[in-house]
Amino acid sequence: DKTCLNSRQWYTCTPHTRIYHGHYTSKCMFSGKECNGHGKCECGECKCTTDGYSGKFCHHCPYCDKCADYLPCVQCLVGYVKEDGTKVEGRLQEDCPVCFDRARQVEPTTLREEEVVDGFTCTHKVDDCEYLYFYQDDLSVQDTTRTILYVNQEPDCGPISVIWIIVGLILAIVLLGIIIICCWKCITMYKDKKKRKKKKKNTRTFMR
């Protein structure tokens, strides 16, 4: 049996072999972190220390909220607003390598939140609209990440406020009223002008 005893930076992996910790740590790296930041590397193998995480690199956690992990990918695809208010436009998937730091693949979807049956749903807000994305883990595979990220690039901007509908109707009615009054005024002025012209013509005829 393999037993590892930590003596400062050295591990004893067999009764006759002493291995430097750094040599085996490289075998436990995942997403730039030792054991994905949720475990410790012992003799080239990850020992998960965070509740809920499992797998070769402590990367599986089906019930964890990992929305923040996939947010950089979604921001790259659909865009985002910087702290200074500047809007950054979305890019094509091939121009977003950050998407594959954690996800095996990224798929488009047209599902809304209430339609997602299997998967942890997340939202990303841009201006007054929300983009839905969710991820699914293939728990049958333990040796590598099998997460599939689904992104709906059609934003949900929510229902239109009733107040704004009422305001819009009032403005439309007022505008229509102004147009009707202007048309009536133009017709009246045209008729008056025509009457004055006819009266003036009749006056000249009578004076002759």
At 34-55, the pLDDT tens digits run 888 889 888 788 999 988 888 8
Q: Which two tokens stand for residue 161?
A: 């406020």
d(C-alpha 3, C-alpha 14), whole Å: 7
pTM summary value: 0.48
Q: 55 or 77: which carries more pLDDT confidence? A: 77
Q: What is the pLDDT of residue 180?
A: 94
Residue 69 has pLDDT above 70, yes or no: yes
Cβ atoms of residues 82 and 68 within 8 Å? no
Centre a 10 Å sphere on the Cβ of residue 48 and count the other Cβ atoms it contains: 20
Residue 208 has pLDDT above 80, yes or no: no
Q: What is the pLDDT of residue 161?
A: 59
pLDDT bucket at 1, cuts 50 / 70 / 90: very low
d(C-alpha 74, C-alpha 96), whole Å: 9
Q: What is the pLDDT of residue 170?
A: 93
Q: Which strand ranges, in their side-by-side order, compose the sheet holding 105-108?
A: 105-108, 148-151, 129-136, 120-126
Q: 137 or 124: which carries more pLDDT confidence? A: 124
Report, as an integer, the average pLDDT of 87-111.
85
Report the candidate in 152, 159, 157 with the shortest Cα–Cα distance to residue 78.
152
Report, as an integer, the average pLDDT of 62-91.
85
d(C-alpha 74, C-alpha 82), whole Å: 14
